[in-house]
Amino acid sequence: MDWEALIRRELGTMVPYTPGLREEEVRERSGKDRILKLSSNEHPDGPFPSAISAIEAELPELNRYPDGSCRALVDSLAERLRVSPDQIAVGSGSNEVIRVLSQALLEPGDEIVFAWPSFIVYQMMAQLFGATALKVPLAPGEVHDLPAMLAAITDKTKIVYLCNPNNPTGTIYHRAEFEEFLAAVPPHVLVVVDEAYFEFVTDPEYPDALEYFDGIRPLVVLRTFSKIYSLAGLRIGYGVMPKVLVEAVHKVREPFNVNSIAQVAALASLADDKEVERRRSENQEQKTYIYSTFDRLGVRYVPSETNFVYFMTDKPVEVFDALLLEGVIARDFGTAPALRLGIGTPEDTKIVCEAFERIVASLGGI
């Protein structure tokens, strides 16, 4: 069998998404019982109590297919976000919404523009459908360079991705910059704003992209229940977009693409604004604790509007390995001079800071 001839050419240069190490691997390697998995930006608390109750109530119904239209969740989201139900597409994580948008829009010869480093899935989906992905380096401070992204747009550009807050740096662009960008972006370009971490933001100058959504402008806003709502294991997210795009997405998405448990858990979580605020506040407190430790130890970092901290190191491999021996799983980027560290519980933060004390002492700085 000539497998090369059988498999799509686009897959030849693609690298599969690599998740972080499993806790079991690190437990064997470090010899520690308590392992802190801080590599995937998961919230340390479990799902909301309301979500757990909804999940338990749904279990006897798992012999039935889920609602293929996610009607109850879509209606609740539409009311909450003040958009029409036909302007919402729900997916198996916002990842799937990125994929089906790419499938619906991109053809060979098309281009996408996105910041770098940012979420690698934008590039992967462009490659999958034969489009060219143009990376625009972040500006000093590890922030989106919106003027440079505008300059990278050509008549072949179909999508510009803005990850705000950005993964992996945790940075944001501000309202005035975004408004200037929207005013200048050509009308043939779809602007996709990925707001997976927006619930963690405390900066008053953060531009909520939904405030600019009118159903006519070529603008998509992506959000997820994986982060502050702690439903990462159920895979559910959504996009707010013009009706014509929702119709296109429905043509290419999988039937029954969002499982029943995910739907009821997301719906039950939506109303608990008090718990969202508690988690946002606690996350901010833990970041402040980590910042103070990093400041004292001379560790360079980027102030974050998310539930993770991106820090610089001239010894990324050594620091990553040293953290593993401490039972802490960070996210590495190969030989890039930085690592990403998720925010855990207050107890996790104390353990992490003590680990950094020992690592900086043993390595003579990082």
Average predicted confidence (pLDDT) for the chain: 96
Question: Residue 124: pLDDT above 80?
Answer: yes
Question: Residue 357: pLDDT above 90?
Answer: yes
| Residue 252, SS3 per DSSP | helix
- The pLDDT tens digits for 128-137 are 999 999 999 9
pLDDT at 125: 96
Tell me the pLDDT band of 65, cut-offs 50, 70 and 90.
very high
Are 209 and 164 in contact by the 8 Å Cβ rule? The answer is: yes
List the CATH code of the domain at 3-46+274-363: 3.90.1150.10
Match 């459908």 to its residue by tokens.
129
pLDDT at 17: 79
Tell me the pLDDT band of 29, cut-offs 50, 70 and 90.
confident
| Residue 11, SS3 per DSSP | helix
User: What token pair was written down for 45?
Assistant: 């608390």
Q: Residue 31 to residues 28, 320, 326, 361: CA-CA distances in angstroms? A: 5, 16, 9, 21
Question: Residue 28: pLDDT above 80?
Answer: no
Buried-state track 39-63, b at ≥16 Cβ within 10 A, e below 16: bebbbbeebbebbeebbeebeeeee
Are 70 and 92 in contact by the 8 Å Cβ rule? The answer is: no
Extents of the domains making up the chain: 3-46+274-363, 49-269
Query: Mean pLDDT across the stretch 80-87?
Result: 98
- The pLDDT tens digits for 136-157 are 999 999 999 999 999 999 999 9
- The pLDDT tens digits for 310-332 are 999 999 999 999 999 999 999 99
pTM exceeds 0.85 for this model: yes
pLDDT at 27: 80
List the CATH code of the domain at 49-269: 3.40.640.10
Looking at 203-207, 235-239, 362-366, which range is the least confident one? 362-366
Tell me the pLDDT band of 364, cut-offs 50, 70 and 90.
very high
Helix, strand and coil in the chain, % to nearest 5: 45, 15, 40
Higher pLDDT, 28 or 170: 170
